[in-house]
């Protein structure tokens, strides 16, 4: 399922770590189109969603629609056309074009069916373990994954994969740069909200808190294994905040070139 690897930690924290490692798929893909799908499954089959999950689904639907409208407006300014992705919400497990995904996978983008998959349990982990709560924190997770779809639409993903295959010693660094660019793209969407006067007080802080919460260094600290920058695949908390903020402040995807110079 994409690239990356686990950090060897059990329990719910493993789900959060794998979500961030596997969430940034760098394989090429196209567009899908259509509305979100919501699936909650157990060993005995599909079950009804709770009132809380209904709210999460409605929020996710609104974020997806708004973010895709933004990209339909933004990309043509720079000579590209955006192609819609689809959003699938799930708990426990889901069948994707990339195979069966369990909750330990967390959020991910599948290039084979061009869909974004969000495990609702990931939001529980984000809130309980890392204190990143709120609608905008949840929106950040979705728009980060949509950012990976934008990379696929622009051809960035396939070019990076080729580089990783040719230069395996640079694979982690390239992965970090891909993830930070997706953070910046999430910020571009946030900038559009700001321009339209649709940000509530505290929204930006929620997004920045979520970006900081899922930095590789903070996740490794939570694991008790110490911080090992050479093993980073998504970037440090400071890097993730910096690039998310850059997108928020500029609203211009051209300012999200994480592949030029240092990060």
pLDDT of res. 186: 96
Nearest of 84, 210, 243 to residue 140 by alpha carbon: 210
The pTM is what? 0.79
36, 86 contact by CB (below 8 A): yes
Nearest of 210, 202, 219, 163 to residue 183 by alpha carbon: 210
- Domain-located, residue 262: no
- Domain-located, residue 261: no
User: Do strands 115-119 and 86-91 pair parallel, antiparallel, or not at all (unpaired)?
Assistant: parallel
pLDDT of res. 201: 81
Expressed as residue numbers, the domain containing 251 is 11-256
57, 138 contact by CB (below 8 A): no
178: left (phi over 0), alpha (psi -120 to 50) or beta: alpha
How far apart, in whole angstroms, are the C-alpha atoms of residue 26 and residue 94?
20
Number of domains in the chain: 1
- Domain-located, residue 232: yes
How far apart, in whole angstroms, are the C-alpha atoms of residue 92 and residue 261?
40
Burial of 70 (0-12, 13-18, 19+ CB in 10 A): buried
- Domain-located, residue 41: yes
pLDDT of res. 15: 36
pLDDT of res. 48: 59
pLDDT of res. 160: 93
How far apart, in whole angstroms, are the C-alpha atoms of residue 180 and residue 242?
9
pLDDT of res. 52: 81
pLDDT of res. 103: 67
237, 217 contact by CB (below 8 A): yes
- Domain-located, residue 119: yes
- Between the alpha carbon of residue 233 and those of residues 129, 141, 188, the distances in Å are 20, 16, 22
- Number of Cβ within 10 Å of residue 262's Cβ equals 4
- Domain-located, residue 78: yes
Nearest of 168, 161, 139 to residue 29 by alpha carbon: 161
pLDDT of res. 257: 97
How far apart, in whole angstroms, are the C-alpha atoms of residue 75 and residue 71?
6
Please give the average pLDDT of every successive group of 10 residues along the chain, which has 263 residues. Answer: 26 35 34 44 53 86 96 96 94 85 77 88 79 83 95 93 93 93 96 93 83 74 74 86 95 96 87
- Domain-located, residue 199: yes
181, 258 contact by CB (below 8 A): yes
- Domain-located, residue 5: no
Rounded to the nearest 5 degrees, what angle is found at the Cα of 223, between the Cα atoms of 218 and 212?
15
47, 54 contact by CB (below 8 A): no
pLDDT of res. 99: 86
92, 103 contact by CB (below 8 A): yes
């Amino acid at each position: 399922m994409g690239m990356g690897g686990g950090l060897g930690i059990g329990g719910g924290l493993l789900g959060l770590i794998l979500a961030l490692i596997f969430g940034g798929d760098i394989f090429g893909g196209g567009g899908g189109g259509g509305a979100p799908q919501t699936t909650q499954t157990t060993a005995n089959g599909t079950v009804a969603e709770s009132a809380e999950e209904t709210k999460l689904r409605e929020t996710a639907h609104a974020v997806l629609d708004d973010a895709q409208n933004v990209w339909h407006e933004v990309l043509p300014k720079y000579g590209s056309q955006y192609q819609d992705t689809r959003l699938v919400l799930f708990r426990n497990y889901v069948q994707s074009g990339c195979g069966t995904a369990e909750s330990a996978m967390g959020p991910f983008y599948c290039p084979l069916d061009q869909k974004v998959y969000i495990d609702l349990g990931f939001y529980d982990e984000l809130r309980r373990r890392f204190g990143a709560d709120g609608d905008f924190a949840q929106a950040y997770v979705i728009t980060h994954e949509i950012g990976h779809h934008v990379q696929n639409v622009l051809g960035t993903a396939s070019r990076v994969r080729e580089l990783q295959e040719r230069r395996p010693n640079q694979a982690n660094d390239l992965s970090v740069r891909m993830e930070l660019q997706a953070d910046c793209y999430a910020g571009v969407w946030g900038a559009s909200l700001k321009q339209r006067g649709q940000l509530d007080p505290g929204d930006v802080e929620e997004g920045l808190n979520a970006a900081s919460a899922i930095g590789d260094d903070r996740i490794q600290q939570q694991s008790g294994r110490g911080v090992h920058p050479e093993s980073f695949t998504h970037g440090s908390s400071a890097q993730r905040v910096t690039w998310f903020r850059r997108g928020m402040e500029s609203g211009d995807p051209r300012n999200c070139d994480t592949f030029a110079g240092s990060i």
